[in-house]
Amino acid sequence: MAAEPGAVNPTLEAIEIQLLLEGIALHYGYDFRDYAPSPLRRNIVMSMAMEGVPTISRYQERILHDPESFERFLDAAGVNVTSMFREADALLYVRQEIVPWLRTFPSVQFWVAGCGTGEDVISLAIVLHESGLLHRSRIYATDINGRSLSIARTGRYPLENIASAEADYARSGGRRSLSDYYLASGDLVRFDRSLLAGVTWARHNLSTDASFNEFHVIQCTNVLTYFSVPLQERVHRLMHDSLASAGYLILGRLESMIRWQKRDSYQRVHPTAGVYRKVRR
């Protein structure tokens, strides 16, 4: 029986989504094929409505021929949403419990994976600065999105976003004002360059790229939530292999459940924040 005009045929829709994701992966190198299906479908349908495109096939054509449309898709898909001191409880734990351990090393290595536009890198750098550890820290900050990394490198953000982060900064144990760390000019603020002096920014795709160093702390917050279980497992293996013995893994608080067969390699060390310690190779 033919479908009603305008009605969604779920089988056809699944094929169209698969073709859209193949096209995006081949053309832009973004691989959404292993992302969790329902939030991804929701984001596609929402973006199509915003672009005024009636079918996923037409949307595929638009996205492949119009890079700006693809960038709008990335923004609408929510994969870029971030804020400073978003994981305030985890950062308080870093100050109180992880920093004393890190002080026993002559130099310390961090990996912030999926750092987006860099707000969580600045937040970590401020915590390390206030703990007297920033000068011997190296932070590798990586993301799949080159556009986000170029914003991150500038250390410039809209003033209104930063003002709303003051409360989270205080919750992370901050005792100053964030305004001590930036200069405002019009609607923008620019963070003190010294905060980012020890940061190496690089493109790295968690779906396909390999481990590139060993780290005392790996922070990968609000990234795994977009991945399917097989991709989460791949990323967990990568992070576990990249973590020094007794090192810490920091996930988002809503990602606390480790989707990984070898989860007993970690001990959860915080009751609500997603902070784990590697206890086994």
The answer to whether 222 contacts ligand SAM (rule: CB under 6 A) is yes
Binding flag, residue 79, ligand SAM (CB under 6 A)? yes
Token look-up 């000019």 returns: 185
Of residues 114 and 155, the one with the C-beta less far from ligand SAM: 114
Residue 240 CB, nearest distance to ligand SAM (Å)? 17
Residue 90 contacts residue 129 (beta carbons within 8 Å) = no
- The CA distance from 166 to 174, in Å, is 9
Q: Which of 33, 71, 76, 80 binds ligand SAM (CB under 6 A)?
A: 80
Judged by CB under 6 A, how many residues of this single chain contact ligand SAM?
20
**Binding flag, residue 120, ligand SAM (CB under 6 A):** yes
Examine residue 232 and tell whether it contacts ligand SAM (CB under 6 A): no
Is the CB of 84 or the CB of 243 nearer to ligand SAM?
84
**Token digits for 54?**
């009636």
User: Which residues are CB-contacts of 45 (< 8 A; sequence separation ≥ 6)?
Assistant: none
Cα atoms in the Cβ-side hemisphere of radius 13 Å centred on 40: 18
| CB distance 273 to 253 below 8 Å | yes
Half-sphere exposure of 19 (CA within 13 A, CB side): 14
Range in contact with ligand SAM (rule: CB under 6 A) among 100-108, 109-117, 165-173, 239-247: 109-117
Q: How many CB atoms lie within 10 A of CB 211?
A: 15
Pairing assessment for the beta strands 274-278 and 182-185 based on DSSP bridges: unpaired
Amino acid at 28: Y
Taking the least distance from each CB to ligand SAM, the nearer of 43 and 207 is: 207
114: contact with ligand SAM by CB under 6 A? yes
Q: Which stretch binds ligand SAM (CB under 6 A): 6-14, 40-48, 114-122, 185-193?
A: 114-122
Contact set with ligand SAM (CB under 6 A):
79-82, 86, 114-116, 120, 143-145, 148, 205-207, 221-223, 252
